Amino acid sequence: MEVADPLRAERKLAQVGYYRLSGFWFPAREFVRNQHGQVILCSVTQKPLRQDAFMAGASFDSAFSLYLFDKKLRQLMLDAIERIEIHVRSIVAHEVGFHDPLAYLNPRFINPKQTANWQDRRGRQRNTWNEWQTRQTEQINRSREDCIEWHRQNHKAMPFWVVVEAWDFGVLSKYFEILNRSHQNRIAARLSISNAKVLKDWLQEINTLRNRSAHHARIWNQVASNPVPVLPTEAYFQGLGLDQNALSRLYGLISVIWFLLRQIGPGSHWLRQVADVIDTKPDLPGCPFASLGLPSERGFPRQLFGI
């Protein structure tokens, strides 16, 4: 690897840490190949094995620029996810709380399968509804939001639209997952989504992205174990023509997030900001736009989104 300024490299390694930065230059390492020139896969991860040597053109400055590039993407993802989280909280509180202000405590709003006991692989007795109740109660107890404190100090029952202020994205997405289908459908319809299961999967994957972004983990070339689904009859997704690589990577999630953001704020410029950042991706060997899930190496496909 080319290190143009060793003193700067030492400072950055001390500030960020070797193993955090090594994740950004890892794709620039040469593959381990057999005598026929074929790439050898790891027997455990099934990913290509890498040599200690780097591909030609790899530099420390480009690797560090990729780190900063990823940081900018994480900040933009968190900005969008915050808007989605707050909006979905509000919809859930309205649609379910309309029937009962304390509906979040009532299992009759929950899919019966989610309230039944079950055994995990270790033979432990589990109950999804009870586990969700425990988790959301912990978040309410930890919360110091004024609205929650007022109800607590005055010994008032907390209505749905108050307790959602304590929920994180994980509790929110899980609650949607275990709701009765009729409530799921009404919530999904408020976001112009015709299939509630698709929204469930979206919320789960967005929550994973939120957690990675909030904990400063690398996102630019991550591959999801569960590709995000799309709405096949929706013109928006038909126009994008997302393939499996896109649906398994950040580009697919960006497309989903933008679909949701357009329902919340049609005048948003978030996607332009994302496109501008993506088009600044550093030129590091082994780090193509395809690693983000983009359809070509020409950068962000603005024309597909009409921007």
**DSSP string over 144-159:** --HHHHHHHHTTPPPP
d(CA 50, CA 27): 8
Which DSSP state fits 5?
Answer: -
d(CA 54, CA 58): 6
d(CA 180, CA 103): 12
CB 32 within 8 A of CB 53: no
Domain boundaries, the chain: 66-305
Check residue 47 and give its pLDDT.
83
CB 64 within 8 A of CB 12: yes
Q: 121: Cβ–Cβ under 8 A, 6 or more apart, which residues?
A: none
Note the Cα 169 to chain centre separation in Å. Answer: 10
CB 287 within 8 A of CB 114: no
CB 14 within 8 A of CB 208: no
Which DSSP state fits 102?
Answer: T
Count other C-beta atoms under 10 Å from residue 219's C-beta: 19
- What type of residue is 7? L
Which is nearest to 75 in space by CA: 281, 257, 172, 219? 219
H helix and E strand count, the chain: 15, 4
Task: Tell me the pLDDT of the chain (307 aa) as tens digits.
Answer: 999 999 999 999 999 999 999 999 999 999 998 888 888 888 888 888 898 999 999 999 999 999 999 999 999 999 999 999 999 999 999 999 999 999 999 999 999 999 999 999 999 999 999 999 999 999 999 999 999 999 999 999 999 999 999 999 999 999 999 999 999 999 999 999 999 999 999 999 999 999 999 999 999 999 998 899 999 999 999 999 999 999 999 999 999 999 999 999 999 999 999 999 999 999 999 999 999 999 999 999 999 999 9
Residue linked to tokens 């996607």:
271
CB 158 within 8 A of CB 104: no
CA 19 vs CA 22, 29, 189, 211, 218: distances in Å = 5, 15, 44, 19, 12
Global pTM reads: 0.93
